[in-house]
Amino acid sequence: MTPNYTVSPFMLPHNSAIQDVEQVARTGGSGVGVSFAKLGGEVSDEQMRDALAEHGLRATFCVPTLWTILPTPPAFGRSSWEKDPKVRTDQICAELERVAFFRPVAVIIGSGTSGDPERPAGPLSAVVDGLARIADRAQDFDLQISFELFGKRRGTPITSLDELVDFIDGVGRPNVGIAFDIFQSWADEGVHDALRRHAKRILNVDVCDVRVEERSGFDREIPGRGRGVAPRVVESLLEGGYRGWWKLEVFSDDGTYGNDFADSYWKMPHEDLLRLGHDAFTDILRSAQEKVKVTG
């Protein structure tokens, strides 16, 4: 298994939660994300916990049913169910006891996006209040929050890694860290300097690459392909002392989210995609470690 390597359950849309566990275990993962969207029907929380234990995997990053404080454009079929940030925050807080059942590395929470950088989601005050409440409730269960930075071009109210660090410091809760997504933020001005400055504040990095011509938010590349931005991001993080989790997250719409791309990676067996992504990332990480002279 590759240390601190996990997989997003959202990149495996045609798997059950148990299949996620089995396939990630066979393809080099030491952990797997838990999505409540995949639990509660054919797979119970108890069955998921037992499967993780059987295959020696850690529950890494847990995604509640609602996970952004502000609404976002429709994604994963549920993001826009509730518009009121206070009600959304209430719903997130209500699920944290269930999250704690899995003892995850952290809970993924985000601000929200509008889809239009000229009219960013808001108000930011609702995100401040919401994150403080969520973090306080999470502390009751000894849970860590991994707060995701969305890309400026997505219409987020927090537009850079530096801004996010200042925002989290302003909220002032010790159990809040950062989720950094290569796809979201690779093009942000000064991102590599910011990664080196704040690497030790980051809990997880969502790993993929970026197509030369991006066709949708569910149109990502295998690490090292397309624009090939992932290797430099990995190097910058290692230079900053990053020791957190690497989370493979290659979305590739096959019609599941509205665009049936002929070259979709989701048209191949998910286990083959997992193996392809793991091997590509491992090569990138090894090369970056050699360049940065990482030891231990």
DSSP string, 148-178: EEPPGGGT-SS-SHHHHHHHHHHHT-TTEEE
State the pairing for strand pair 220-221/176-181: unpaired
- Specify whether the CB–CB gap between 285 and 235 falls below 8 A: no
Decide: 229 and 186 in contact? Cβ < 8 Å.
yes
Phi, psi of 93 (to 5 degrees): -60, -35
Torsion, Cα 123 247 31 70, to 10 degrees, reads: 10
What pLDDT is attached to residue 80? 53
Query: Which structure tokens are listed for 136?
Result: 């306080």
Write down the pTM of the prediction: 0.94
pLDDT of residue 75: 60
d(CA 19, CA 5): 17
pLDDT of residue 295: 56
CA–CA dist 277, 296 (Å, integer):
24
What CATH number does residue 228 fall under? 3.20.20.150
3-state secondary structure of 73: coil
Contacts of 154 (CB under 8 A, 6+ apart): 113, 114, 115, 117, 184, 217
Closest CA to 104 of 131, 68, 69, 141: 141
Total structural domains in the chain? 1
Q: Could you list the pLDDT tens digit for every one of the 296 residues in the chain? A: 677 999 999 999 999 999 999 999 999 999 999 999 899 888 999 999 999 999 999 999 999 989 999 988 766 444 456 889 999 999 999 999 999 999 999 999 999 988 888 999 999 999 999 999 999 999 999 999 999 999 888 889 999 999 999 999 999 999 999 999 999 999 999 999 999 999 999 999 999 999 999 999 899 999 999 999 999 999 999 999 999 999 999 999 999 999 999 999 999 999 999 999 999 999 999 999 999 986 55
Element (H, E) at 278: helix 270-292
Q: Token pair for residue 206? A: 């969502």
Cα–Cα distance for residue pair 107/167, rounded to 1 Å: 18
> Would you say 266 and 256 are in contact if contact means Cβ atoms under 8 Å apart?
yes
- Structural domain of 164: 5-292
C-alpha dihedral (245, 73, 14, 219), degrees to nearest 10: -70
Q: How far apart are CA 119 and CA 264, in angstroms?
A: 31
Decide: helix, strand or coil at residue 234: helix
Three-state DSSP class for residue 255: coil
β-pairing, 106-110 with 145-149?
parallel
d(C-alpha 286, C-alpha 296), whole Å:
13
